[in-house]
Structure 1
């Protein structure tokens, strides 16, 4: 017999855990939460520096690979995505960034009422437990921990910040405050040395409620649609199971799996669906389109003083760091590899920052295969600075390869396919060299290792950028929000166009790229999405 619930949520990731918490808070609704992966109670998920260990771990990671892309010299890109409770918030680098006010005000300019910065700020604050306390821009007492690096910051990271000030970049101690522009230290989703992912923050407190039912290892294969309404799902856990939703089916499976599931269920481009023998339920050509992602390019320098390379290459240091972490939850294992950052304008005439910078007080090489370890520390003291354009204009697409729900989809990013994106990247890496020439960093540098001082001609820098550019793991917009069903997938209330009882609430609905990391905005979308769902339920009842 089918299981029956008020709401079925597909995906217990960054958004799904928030939805599960908020939709069960009042005790009035029964919720089924389906997650294809397993538990996040794994040491390398919970320990912040364990990011490097989960990067290629199939036990917690979908390990997607894109199509060969001309924009990155014909290479494929490896896309890790969380297949575990907490989703990608369980395997990311934990940088807490919301984006710029103009990002959200741009959404309302597209006709999406209720998504301007002043509309979404209360939801950011609602989710947040910021160690600095509550103010006009921050919340205290919410589920999601936001912490400072504190005394664990490496001295070279402070040199990076000073170099930025010397280069004319304003110091900014709060990228999520009144203004994003400037250089400073990142805040991180960490609490007392433990990753504050969506599972720890939102799901665990809700698990005690009798109206929430979680099923892990449950791969959703199809949405059930009857008479123009989503009424449930089919999922595999050992065998096939059917679950029915009295109110709504909510997709929170992320920018890859949400559009994939829509297409498998007959919602998408008719030509694509016919090609794979899938009956057309709703003609929505925008499903899987409008794919956006942040790229970055890293430059590596050899330093004349110790970096974390020297530390982590020492077995004695690793043993002591492990002991310190076990006894105090502090030390280098308790923070992210990304310590410093900046949001800068790379040319005159811009009205806001167009470039995000990352500073890592270590350097490493990564094999391009998905079976390699992420961090192979160099045998010299080194550090990394990376440039990532905030709002790329290149657009890709995602589509199913067949009607097989277990086959990974075809991902085509179309990286660096516009001249504007190429120019932004060129300006970004030039800015890195400008910072390296500032006294605070120049005094610490022996030489530029990668790409090296001989790479100076424009055509050589472009080739190098295309050759070494990599994803920052921020795919969005494959179920984009909009007012026109021909160019979007969901409306401003996150309801799928043309079908009742079905919403998408995750990073895939963002109508434009956020200027920065996308996890905090995804959690905000889920906070607001939960309010929309509950308000519509109340309206239907009355």
Structure 2
């Protein structure tokens, strides 16, 4: 008899949702296995929103951020002149929700309807909206008056929210910023003067427009998947968390998954389960499948791995968002930054955080944003802007000293298709990752247009008292050729990898959209961002929470009905 009914591999957004939902029945034995440390939700570096800028800054490693990070790297990218990209992922219970920017955006109706139309019935926008509402506690509506400090278009923000699109009783708290930097208001005014309409709710009836982001926060602090989904149910006797445990492969009896092999504290072991669910993310989930004999038969043979199931789609279909950053130096001290002139204000921020959970430390600096179409004939956005009220940046900006601001230009649907592949049969060796940016259907045109749209916003009159100069790429970089060179040199991802175990019914599909089982084997499922058939037009964490909520229902329904793999 197996030790557990469900073994969930990976304690990130999807894994914590599953651990919560699948353990609701006290007769169901659930084990959550996580490679990193447990008990992170109340650690200061995790709960302080501003601390996110320290996780990838080497000079701030003494604060403890690196222990929450797991690093991957692309192969030399031909479209980037052989440049490799660093790809951080969160580590520990909570996963990347411990370290991300906390922005909560669901995506566009067309994204999910596209999933449905690619052979995934039940995964359209109207099917998923109840799950978005189920997972959410929307602070603006749940606590009337919580957004009274924000006036949006000279009207109270909360009066502009349609409750049809939001939930009030879910585990995950979604909130507006507790303190809005004046530069975010400058951005909103300038964007309107540039011709972009205000949008009070990017998760409402329409996504396009300019507005302020909402965040996975509560009372000014970060909310992680561990804090929202796992911590409230730790008391359940039927739920076990195995942390600091690295899964090395899935154990099979013929074509039936029967457990996992793992390493912990230098020792190896095996634990049995009736069902194994991979929720380890778009790099690790396909890597584990291939190490375990599920993937392209030719590639597995090349590495001496015995074949369990020939599924050539494993590791294919890798997608991510492309992002470049425009950096500006400010003449005013309105943006956040470290300077003698701002020293008294910054000291006040410390006290404001300690006593009120407000001010700079309650912000990620990425406060304002916009969803814009670069095609005048379409109102479906293909560009997302992030306006950051300081120069500290997880990607490329110059640092914390001085005053300035950033405009991220993100291409929502780049068109590049990459892959995750084995380098060897050694579980300790990272997989080979290639995005293929600017190859195939992926071009620079949309990013180039997005840069010009962003510059047009900062050229408006509201920025005049604050803007000194554009530092990067610099005002002289204007022609198509010069902008393309800048993009090729500086472009990165927003760390939103998806698609490498895509659900569907086609030849290259990996996961069944009704049962979440891997095609061709029994007792094995995947539930994480890797099952997305295509990337959503937004930060991916909201869609990941949502798909895990729906997957939990599908898993329980399939098992109750005795659905065969």
SS at match of 1:467: helix
Displacement of 1:303: 2.1
Deviations 1:351-405 (CA, angstroms, capped at 9, x unpaired):
411110000011147797xxxxx872243x2111111111110011111211111
Match of 1:18 in 2: 17
Equivalent of residue 390 in structure 2, options 335, 357, 362: 362
SS at match of 2:384: strand
Equivalent of residue 170 in structure 1, options 149, 173, 197: 197
Matched ranges for 1:200-211 at <5 A: 200-211=227-238
Match of 1:52 in 2: 53
Alpha-carbon distance in 2 for matches of 1:106, 1:270: 29
Alpha-carbon distance in 2 for matches of 1:289, 1:307: 46
Deviations 1:332-354 (CA, angstroms, capped at 9, x unpaired):
11121210000011121224111
Alpha-carbon distance in 2 for matches of 1:59, 1:89: 14
1:490 aligns with 2:511: yes
Alpha-carbon distance in 2 for matches of 1:315, 1:442: 24
SS at match of 2:489: helix
Alpha-carbon distance in 2 for matches of 1:300, 1:375: 8
1:63 aligns with 2:71: yes
Match of 1:111 in 2: 119
Alpha-carbon distance in 1 for matches of 2:378, 2:420: 32
Residue 27 and residue 452 in structure 1: after superposition, are their counterparts in 2 closer, same or farther (change >3 A)?
same
Equivalent of residue 349 in structure 1, options 367, 371, 377: 377
Q: TM-score, normalised by structure 1?
A: 0.94
Displacement of 1:312: 7.1
Equivalent of residue 501 in structure 2, options 479, 494, 511: 479
Q: Tell which deviates more after alignment, 315-324 or 512-521.
A: 315-324
Displacement of 1:529: 0.6
Alpha-carbon distance in 1 for matches of 2:69, 2:299: 27
Match of 1:184 in 2: 211
1:523 aligns with 2:545: yes
Match of 1:260 in 2: 287
Matched ranges for 1:32-47 at <5 A: 32-39=31-38, 40=40, 41-47=42-48
Residue 479 and residue 171 in structure 1: after superposition, are their counterparts in 2 closer, same or farther (change >3 A)?
same
Match of 1:371 in 2: none
Match of 2:400 in 1: 377
Alpha-carbon distance in 2 for matches of 1:541, 1:345: 44
Alpha-carbon distance in 2 for matches of 1:366, 1:526: 27
Alpha-carbon distance in 1 for matches of 2:181, 2:440: 37
Please, which runs of 5 or more residues in structure 2 have no aligned partner? Answer: 58-64, 143-162
Alpha-carbon distance in 2 for matches of 1:307, 1:73: 38
Alpha-carbon distance in 1 for matches of 2:241, 2:550: 22
Alpha-carbon distance in 2 for matches of 1:58, 1:76: 20
- Alignment check: 8 A CA contact 1:366 1:376 kept: no
Deviations 1:444-479 (CA, angstroms, capped at 9, x unpaired):
322221111111111111000111111111000011
Alpha-carbon distance in 2 for matches of 1:457, 1:520: 37
- Alignment check: 8 A CA contact 2:373 2:383 kept: yes
Displacement of 1:71: 2.2
Alpha-carbon distance in 2 for matches of 1:405, 1:21: 28
Alpha-carbon distance in 1 for matches of 2:362, 2:210: 22
Residue 19 and residue 490 in structure 1: after superposition, are their counterparts in 2 closer, same or farther (change >3 A)?
same
1:302 aligns with 2:335: no
Displacement of 1:309: 4.3
Displacement of 1:188: 0.5
Matched ranges for 1:390-429 at <5 A: 390-418=412-440, 420-429=442-451
Task: State the number of aligned residues.
Answer: 532
- Alignment check: 8 A CA contact 1:93 1:337 kept: no
Alpha-carbon distance in 2 for matches of 1:360, 1:351: 25
Equivalent of residue 83 in structure 2, options 75, 94, 106: 75
SS at match of 2:140: coil
Match of 2:61 in 1: none
Displacement of 1:419: 5.6
Deviations 1:428-459 (CA, angstroms, capped at 9, x unpaired):
11111111122222443222211111111111
Please, which runs of 5 or more residues in structure 1 have no aligned partner? Answer: 369-373
- Alignment check: 8 A CA contact 2:338 2:400 kept: no
SS at match of 2:487: helix
Alpha-carbon distance in 2 for matches of 1:474, 1:69: 17
SS at match of 2:170: coil
1:273 aligns with 2:300: yes
SS at match of 1:277: coil
Residue 170 and residue 366 in structure 1: after superposition, are their counterparts in 2 closer, same or farther (change >3 A)?
closer
